Amino acid sequence: MQPKIYHVDEHKIAPDKIDSHAFYVIQKLRQAGHTAYLVGGGVRDLLLGTRPKDFDVSTSARPEEIKALFRNAILIGRRFRLAHIRFGQKVIEVSTFRSGATEEAGLIVRDNEWGSEEQDVLRRDFTINGLFYDPESQKVIDYVDGYPDIEKKILRTIGKPDVRFIQDPVRMIRLIKFCARFNFEIHHPTFEALLNCKGEILKSSQARIFEELLRMLESGSSKAFFHLLNEYGLLKALSQPLAAFLDKPNNQALQLLGSIDDEVRKNTSFDRSLLLAALIFPLFQENVTERNKREDRPLHLGQIAEMAHRTIDQIFHPFFSIPRRMRGIMGFIMTSQFRLIPLDGKLRRPKPPRDAFFPYALHLLKLRAGINPELLSHYTVWTEASFASHEPIEAPHPRRRRRRRRRRKSDEKPV
């Protein structure tokens, strides 16, 4: 098939918006006789006029050929090998053209066959993510009608939507992510397929879904995302209790996410445990308050901590398994809210604990006070106390996520 070509006078991507390292990688691959383009989310974001998060390169060169060309390249991935070319902190991901778009409905287990450039875009998820950009000739190369979809703000799968969702149900979460992030409309057949296939989501890997949810909490569009995830019925499949809570009118979970989005857009970075704690705190608070009403004596912090862990398990199990460390920090942040504001509502002389995660708890209180002004005085008192009592406690830096590298056979020492 002949692709449609869009020239610079039409697409207007300014050359200085292209990452210089990605440009260098493409040039070097070409000088060695390979084909190479920018591809995927980076091209989409350039056309939308936003700054791409990452610049991915797609090429005819095989992983070993890429490795031989770049001293700073490492090959990653066991099933699907691709190259990471490192320039200081920055990584340019370079993958070899693959085939893999089939019309067979069924979970994809093999997607590592090499292919042509056309096959490489046909296996991608949405038309807006299926464009190549050649930074040398400044051409956008479109095999999938992605260019007009970006112009018309339409989300449409490449290929038959139900087949594509069944093959990889994570694509449904990605659809909602793009819908929330760009406020694009979903093409009708794609939307119908989303509603028909939503139950398939449980067949995909929990780790991939969990990662997508966390990324969305960090994205600045988390409120819209969780609202849509619930509205389209996917949240119910993943977590029945959370979906039921978000269905309640005026619940504070979405409002808290809105406040987080505002802060993220002003460049605040959040620890992932704090984000998850904020998402489920309003539900937890409701549980605690109701139980407290039923008890003769106010619940003490030990009982609340125990409830916090139980609530985390109820919300995320059976589908997700929350890492132990994360579960511990979330439990601490949630329980601490009742130390900061006791169930009887009385302000006592605050004694800030020397816990490393206390600043996260205080941050959640700040977010809560943003939507409940009556909590502001509590927040002020605790903040002043934590400055006055000792040198201010520094929150640990949100953990940098490290990609786990699988140990290669050759790295293993002979026994």
Which residues participate in catalysis according to the annotation? 54, 56, 125
State which of positions 280-299 bind ligand ATP (CB under 6 A): none
Among the listed residues 117, 120, 125, 261, the single contact to ligand ATP using CB under 6 A = 125
Taking the complex as a whole, how short is the minimal distance between the CB of residue 165 and Mg ion, in angstroms? 20
Cα–Cα distance between 359 and 336 in angstroms, integer?
Answer: 10
Told to check if 171 binds ligand ATP by CB under 6 A, we report: yes
Taking the complex as a whole, how short is the minimal distance between the CB of residue 108 and ligand ATP, in angstroms? 9
Among the listed residues 75, 170, 214, 322, the single contact to ligand ATP using CB under 6 A = 170
The interface partner of residue 125, options being ligand ATP, Mg ion, none and the CB cut-off 5 to 8 Å by kind, is ligand ATP
Among the listed residues 3, 41, 353, 398, the single contact to ligand ATP using CB under 6 A = 41
Q: By CB under 5 A, how many residues form the interface with Mg ion? A: 2
Told to check if 53 binds ligand ATP by CB under 6 A, we report: yes
Cα–Cα distance between 16 and 14 in angstroms, integer?
Answer: 5
Quick one: DSSP state of residue 54? -
Measured from the CB atom, the residue of 212 and 286 that comes closer to ligand ATP is 212
The interface partner of residue 124, options being Mg ion, ligand ATP, none and the CB cut-off 5 to 8 Å by kind, is ligand ATP
Told to check if 313 binds Mg ion by CB under 5 A, we report: no
Angstrom distances, CA of residue 154 to CA of 70, 117, 175, 246: 38, 24, 11, 27
Residue matched to tokens 């020492």: 413
Q: What is the DSSP string of 67-127?
A: HHH-TTEEEE-SSS-EEEEEETTEEEEEEE-B----S--S-------B--HHHHHHTSSBG
| Amino acid, single-letter form, for residue 16 | D
State which of positions 41-80 bind Mg ion (CB under 5 A): 41, 54
Told to check if 110 binds ligand ATP by CB under 6 A, we report: no
| Amino acid, single-letter form, for residue 367 | L
Taking the complex as a whole, how short is the minimal distance between the CB of residue 56 and Mg ion, in angstroms? 6
Measured from the CB atom, the residue of 6 and 225 that comes closer to ligand ATP is 225
Name the closest residue to ligand ATP (Cβ): 41
Cα–Cα distance between 64 and 75 in angstroms, integer?
Answer: 8
Taking the complex as a whole, how short is the minimal distance between the CB of residue 199 and Mg ion, in angstroms? 27
Quick one: DSSP state of residue 154? E
Three-state secondary-structure class, residue 253: helix
Nearest to 43 by CA among 17, 61, 24, 21: 17
Binding mask 15-44 for Mg ion (x = CB under 5 A): --------------------------x---
Taking the complex as a whole, how short is the minimal distance between the CB of residue 42 and ligand ATP, in angstroms? 7
Cα–Cα distance between 170 and 181 in angstroms, integer?
Answer: 16
Phi, psi dihedrals of residue 296, rounded to the nearest 5°: -70, -40
Pairing of strands 4-6, 139-142: antiparallel
Nearest to 92 by CA among 83, 101, 100: 83
Among the listed residues 58, 59, 129, 230, the single contact to ligand ATP using CB under 6 A = 129
Taking the complex as a whole, how short is the minimal distance between the CB of residue 170 and ligand ATP, in angstroms? 5
Cα–Cα distance between 176 and 356 in angstroms, integer?
Answer: 35
Measured from the CB atom, the residue of 93 and 200 that comes closer to Mg ion is 93
Phi, psi dihedrals of residue 114, rounded to the nearest 5°: -70, 155
Told to check if 124 binds ligand ATP by CB under 6 A, we report: yes
The interface partner of residue 170, options being ligand ATP, Mg ion, none and the CB cut-off 5 to 8 Å by kind, is ligand ATP
Told to check if 115 binds ligand ATP by CB under 6 A, we report: no
- Using the rule CB under 6 A, give the single segment among 122-130, 226-234, 273-281, 386-394 that binds ligand ATP: 122-130
Cα–Cα distance between 50 and 52 in angstroms, integer?
Answer: 6
Among the listed residues 19, 56, 149, 271, the single contact to ligand ATP using CB under 6 A = 56
Those residues with Cβ within 8 angstroms of residue 147's Cβ, 6 or more apart along the chain or in another chain: 4, 6, 11, 47, 131, 140
Which residues are at the interface with Mg ion (CB under 5 A)? Answer: 41, 54
Which residues are at the interface with ligand ATP (CB under 6 A)? Answer: 40-41, 53-54, 56, 124-125, 129, 168, 170-171
